[in-house]
Amino acid sequence: MPPNYLNFDDYAKSNLSRPDLTVSFYPFIDTSVGGHYYHRAANIPMGGWTKVLVDAHPTHHNGGAHNPYSSFSEGGDHYPGDGQKYFDSMATISLGVATPGTKSSPIAFYVDELAAYSMPYENEETISNLAVGFSPQTKRFDVSFSDKYRCIECNAEYEVRYSFFPIDNGNYEQAYLPDYVVNFDREDNNEQGKIIKPSPGYNQIWAAFDIQAEHKTMLTEGQTIFIAIKDKSERSEIEQQPADFEIVSVL
């Protein structure tokens, strides 16, 4: 995404109520008309590629949600718990790039390597639609994802780690914490890898992070870096679904 709108320093809670939606994926299930779900990313253009992973956890439906926290399980309300059926039943999809009306236009976006695949237990139940962006100039990453719950009491805290090898449950603690995390609410910036949900009434979460200085020389063309997000939230104020507490097998 080219770096010609959404200045990094201005992308903060002091100017916005929540992270701006950048890329949106709208699937229509079983029919090509009427109601549809929403999957979204909020990475900011930094002059590099952004990888967006759209999984089977929708964050919204234009007909609303049937629970007090506006939350959806894998598969949505159509096929709860069955992500494969959710994808198999998509009749129509729409891919949109949201450019705020106050920003410069036109903007050229390039979409490459669209692929569909099945990987069981890829995300925790409370994490969906992970996107990772990278700035070739600053060597900084930004990450966006969606929290499952949306309500006044739906505060959340996450942890980000990275590695140059695949991360699973067994080696998660050996993956590296970032050198510094820039949160959407800049008062939450930290050196402990913490990502703080900025607005409990919205699903969208965004943060940027710098990897440790000794690793920046490894960020060369063709190098793969793996990013893991873990839910560390204390949510005693809301009644979470049992699936949120199941041990997730990460492959």
Phi, psi of 136 (to 5 degrees): -65, -25
Is residue 1 included in any domain, yes or no? Answer: no
Residue 250 belongs to some domain of the structure: no
Query: In the chain, at which residue ranges do the beta strands (DSSP E only) sit?
Result: 23-29, 37-41, 50-52, 60-61, 90-97, 127-134, 141-147, 157-163, 180-183, 194-196, 204-210, 226-231
Residue 79 CA to its chain's centroid (Å): 22
Domain count of the chain?
Answer: 1
Q: Tell me which residue range forms the domain holding 107.
A: 8-245
- Residue 48 domain-assigned (yes or no): yes
Does residue 2 fall inside a structural domain? Answer: no
pTM of the complete model: 0.91
Q: Specify if 68 maps to a domain.
A: yes
The whole-number pLDDT of residue 251 equals 55
pLDDT in tens, the chain (251 residues): 777 667 899 899 998 899 998 889 999 999 998 899 999 999 998 888 899 999 999 999 999 988 999 999 999 999 998 888 999 999 999 988 876 555 555 566 677 877 877 766 666 789 999 999 999 999 999 999 999 999 999 999 999 999 999 998 889 999 999 999 999 999 999 999 999 999 999 999 999 999 999 999 999 989 999 999 999 999 999 999 998 988 777 65
Residue type, 106: P
- Tell me whether residue 220 is in a domain: yes
The two tokens of residue 130 are: 């992970």
Residue 218 lies in a domain: yes
Comparing C-alpha atoms, which of 19, 59, 20 is closest to residue 39? 59
Asked if residue 113 belongs to a domain, the reply is yes
